């Protein structure tokens, strides 16, 4: 029997999620139909789409811009949330669990899994995270659970970084007990094992105000699909670097596992997708 899945967004025509999940399904021999679902940008329309999809026997839905917060609110009101979704305040994966709508967030764990696959050390690592928006919010708990050491969160506006830490600490005892410092991006200095860009500046030709004495052994940018000045900056200083394409595949594989119970060989899937040149953002 064909299993049905969707990705809900606005815009959505550009999404490569159907191709990505088809590669996953082919790998394990599962018959699926995965479609893009455009939705008007309001909570009532999103709720109607979700109700119609799962009411009609749908198995799982991905949620992308601009509905991750809306999906979180819906699950908080009517269903249940995973720990990662609850802390992130956002949902990218929907399914029905124990008879109710269940929201998860696989973005942060997808990032961690990709970093691990690269062979970059996370245990006790000194990590700098640039950005204080939704992307940063979703990765703090998975990074801490991966065993990192000290974490510094930097943002152009320092108060936003402070607010993020306060909100995350209130939402998670694990985060509250961890050592987290904040600073303005331009004031971020020192030597880190890993530095992560969680801002969207890579989508423009602008650059981050990085200090001359900021060093890192490994640099990761969550963006992908185009040259990224952030990564070039650290490559020139001897760092190993990676864009976020592997994070995209990793979070999708985790969604797929939530829905089907089947683990995906992400390395194999990534190779197949790279050969198909699927490098457009989800």
Q: Is 68 a catalytic residue?
A: yes
Catalytic residue among 68, 97, 123, 160: 68
Q: Quick one: tokens of 227?
A: 């040259």
243-to-43, 220, 232 alpha-carbon distances in Å: 32, 6, 11
CA nearest to 77, candidates 53, 108, 44, 105: 44
150-to-132, 144, 214, 238 alpha-carbon distances in Å: 17, 9, 16, 22
Contacts of 147 (CB under 8 A, 6+ apart): 122, 123, 124
Strand pairing category for 151-155 and 127-130: parallel
Q: Which residues are catalytic?
A: 68
């Amino acid at each position: 029997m064909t299993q049905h899945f969707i990705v809900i967004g606005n815009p959505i025509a550009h999404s490569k999620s159907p191709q990505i999940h088809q590669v996953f399904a082919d790998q394990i021999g599962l018959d699926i139909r995965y479609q893009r679902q455009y939705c008007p940008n309001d909570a009532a329309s999103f709720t109607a789409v979700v109700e119609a999809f799962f009411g009609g026997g749908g198995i799982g839905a991905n949620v992308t811009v601009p509905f991750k917060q809306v999906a979180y609110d819906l699950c908080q009101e009517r269903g249940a949330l995973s720990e990662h979704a609850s802390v992130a305040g956002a949902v990218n994966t929907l399914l029905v669990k124990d008879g109710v709508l269940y929201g998860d967030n696989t973005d942060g764990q997808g990032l961690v899994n990709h970093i691990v696959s690269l062979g970059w050390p996370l245990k006790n690592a000194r990590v700098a995270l640039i950005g204080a928006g939704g992307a940063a919010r979703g990765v703090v708990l998975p990074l801490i659970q991966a065993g990192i050491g000290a974490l510094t969160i930097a943002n152009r506006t320092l108060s936003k970084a402070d607010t993020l830490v306060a909100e995350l600490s209130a939402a998670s005892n694990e985060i509250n007990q961890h050592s987290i410092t904040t600073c303005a991006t331009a004031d971020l200095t020192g030597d880190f094992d890993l530095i992560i860009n969680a801002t969207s500046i890579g989508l423009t030709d602008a650059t981050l105000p990085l200090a001359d004495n900021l060093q890192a052994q490994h640099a990761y940018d969550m963006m992908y699909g185009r040259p990224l000045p952030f990564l070039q900056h650290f490559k020139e200083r001897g760092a190993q670097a990676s864009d976020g394409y592997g994070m995209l595949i990793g979070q999708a594989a985790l969604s797929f596992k939530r829905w089907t119970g089947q683990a995906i060989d992400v390395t194999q899937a990534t190779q197949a997708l790279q050969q198909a040149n699927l490098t457009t953002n989800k």
